[in-house]
Structure formats: structure tokens, C-alpha cells
Amino acid sequence: MPTLAIAGGTSASLGRAITTALLQNASQWNAVILSRTTHAPIWLRAIDPDSARTQIRATALKGVDTVVSVTSAYDGFGPKGWENVMSTKWTFGGVWEECVAQKDKIECAKFNHGSFMNYIGHGIYPVPSHVDEASLLEKMKGGGGYMAGEDDACQGLLRQGDLKDGSGAFLIGLKNGIAELPQKDDGSWPRITMTSMKDVGRFVVASLNLPSGKWEENMTMAGDTLTMGELLAHAEAITGRKFEASVVKQADLEKKMRETTQDNFMAQMWAEFKLAYIRDMEDEVVLKPVVNQLCPAVKPMGLREYMETFYRSA
């Protein structure tokens, strides 16, 4: 059985998404998780309690067939196509350049998932209360490595969004009925490609089983592509309420960036992302479904389905 090494694989977000998808794919791969710690997180103990198919190592790639790296500062939220977003540009260097230098010896690809759909899930559920380790382990066993509620909705993504209600959501806050959406100067809505964390994991794992030579350099994927206006319309339809929606345009965002201090990294980043949406460029924020077409058995969750699933279960 071939072995996949996941650099950064103990993370609760993309590391968990890829590892859980891999272990649910019963036939094909074992996993080596490359991490600074050899302590297995609770979610990993929930899905592989006897370490039958996973190992955690600090170093060494002996016996490894394929490596997936999710070791950027924001767990891959700066994929290929986001080089114009200066706040994330520094996360790209190193690994890919080394892959390109060895391209006559190895097959390599960049996986671009667009924006995480899971930011829409923040604030739907109450702030999680403390759960003792034994109870958490049992809950995660029942959920395939995820605990029902916010953990299953947000899938390891932290409450870092910039909505004014403090929910940690980004663009749309379902619980409190608010939105802050970028709009072009001509009044039209730009597009956005979104994919849930779990579906990123499923797409990556499905790609591992493609025949040699089938990978493209840019393995873009799409859970859903829609306009900001459609995003708002879905939110209002699912919640049954009119949202308090604020519109931001290019001049607003550029002014905000001038007024934001360099040490306020998150505020800079969100403003830059919204400027990227306004540019509405293919292969930056609007992605071709390359992996969807190569791996048609993976049926990703669309944005409306995501909202229906988690808002209505809260």
C-alpha cells in the first residue's frame, strides 16, 4: 500500500480534512504525518485509534511515495492565484520552487481551493463550551473525526473573519443577519469560488489515485462559484430575513488599507481579499473546476446546501 506524507497534517483544518478523507478511502493509502510534535491530536485518535494506518514523524521521508504540504501560516488560504494579495504572498515561497527544480524527477501540482466556505459557518452555533477529553474523543469517533455543531460546520477554521458582530464570520453572518460584501464600481457583483474544508480533503485524496501524468500544474477545484449578490440572496432565503448588508467598493478598501497599521495583519488581509474579489479575475478568485472534472466521483457541497445543512441544524 503506498504512503502519503502530509506536512502540517496534525492541523485541525486542512491536515484533518486530508487525513480523514484518506482513511475513509479504505483501499489505497497509508499516511505519515510530518509534524514538530509526535503527539496525536484527538481527532486523529478518533479515526485511527491504534495508529494502524497513520504515523507521526518529525523528520524522514523514507518509504514515502507522495507528499502533500499544508504548512502555510493560514493553512493554505493563500493558494496559487493569490500572489497579488500581498498579505499572503510570503507563504508561497520555498516548497514550490524546489518542486519545479526537480520536475524532471517528480510529478507535482498546486491545489487551489479558492475561499473557504466554512467562514459562513462562524457564529451560527454558540461559542463551544469546554468538553473533557474523553467525551470529545467519543463525539469525534461518532462524527468521523469531527464533533457535531461548530466543529463540523467550521472544520478547524478559526473565528478570524472581520464582520462587525464579532462572530468571526466573513462576508455573511447567518446568525445575526448581517453582510459586508465587495461590489464593483459599476454596481455589479463580483464572483467568488468557495470550497468547504472537507471537500478540499476529498478532492486532494481523489487526485492521489489518478494515473501518472494526469495531474495539471494548477489543480483548481470549486465547491461553488457564484456572485456576491447570489451569496446574499441564498442567505436571506435560508434564514427567512432581510439582511443588514453593507457594500464596500475599491476606494473604500484602498482607504482602509492606507489607514490600517502594518501590525494589524488580519485587517490588511481581509481588505486585500475583498479587493481581489472586486478584480473578479479568473484563476485568482474565480476558479476552473479542474479537479472536479478529473475526479467526478467527488460531489462537493454547494453554498446553499452548506447553509441549509448547518443553519437549520443549529
Q: Which pLDDT score is estimated for 38?
A: 80
258, containing H or E segment: helix 250-259
Q: Which pLDDT score is estimated for 29?
A: 84
Residues 6+ apart with CB under 8 A from 288: 220, 222, 282
51, amino acid identity: S
Instruction: Count the neighbouring beta carbons within 10 Å of the beta carbon of residue 34.
Output: 23
Q: At what angle do helices 197-208 and 14-24 cross, to 10 degrees?
A: 50
Widest pairwise Cα distance in the chain: 58
Backbone angles phi, psi at 181, to 5 degrees: -120, 135
Count up the domains in the chain and report the number. Answer: 1
Q: Compute CA distances 291 → 21, 28, 61, 206, 218, whole Å.
A: 16, 19, 26, 9, 9
pTM of the model: 0.90
Residues 6+ apart with CB under 8 A from 210: 294, 295
Range 92-115 average pLDDT: 82
- How many residues are given for the chain? 314
**Average pLDDT of every residue of the chain:** 89
Q: Is 7 left (phi over 0), alpha (psi -120 to 50) or beta?
A: beta
DSSP state of 128: P
What distance in Å separates the CA atoms of residue 76 and residue 112, rounded to the nearest whole number?
9
151, containing H or E segment: helix 150-154
What distance in Å separates the CA atoms of residue 75 and residue 69, rounded to the nearest whole number?
9
pLDDT band (50, 70, 90) for residue 97: confident
The answer to whether residues 290 and 219 touch, using CB atoms and an 8 Å cutoff, is yes
The answer to whether residues 157 and 116 touch, using CB atoms and an 8 Å cutoff, is yes
pLDDT per residue as tens digits for the range 211-255: 988 999 899 999 999 999 999 999 999 999 999 999 999 999 999
What distance in Å separates the CA atoms of residue 175 and residue 111, rounded to the nearest whole number?
31
CATH number of the structural domain spanning residue 268: 3.90.25.10
Query: Distance from CA of residue 278 to its chain's centroid?
Result: 21
State the residue range of the domain holding 101.
Answer: 3-311
What distance in Å separates the CA atoms of residue 224 and residue 280, rounded to the nearest whole number?
15
Q: Which pLDDT score is estimated for 206?
A: 95
Residues 6+ apart with CB under 8 A from 289: 220, 221, 222
Kindly tell me if the per-residue pLDDT of 127 is higher than 60: yes
Q: Compute CA distances 289 → 18, 51, 188, 272, 296, whole Å.
A: 19, 34, 24, 24, 10
Q: Compute CA distances 127 → 11, 33, 151, 159, whole Å.
A: 20, 30, 11, 10
Cell 495531474 belongs to which residue?
A: 215
Kindly tell me if the per-residue pLDDT of 27 is higher than 70: no
Range 8-35 average pLDDT: 87
pLDDT per residue as tens digits for the range 40-96: 999 999 999 877 778 888 666 778 889 898 875 343 334 445 455 554 454 455 667
Residues 6+ apart with CB under 8 A from 176: 123, 165, 167
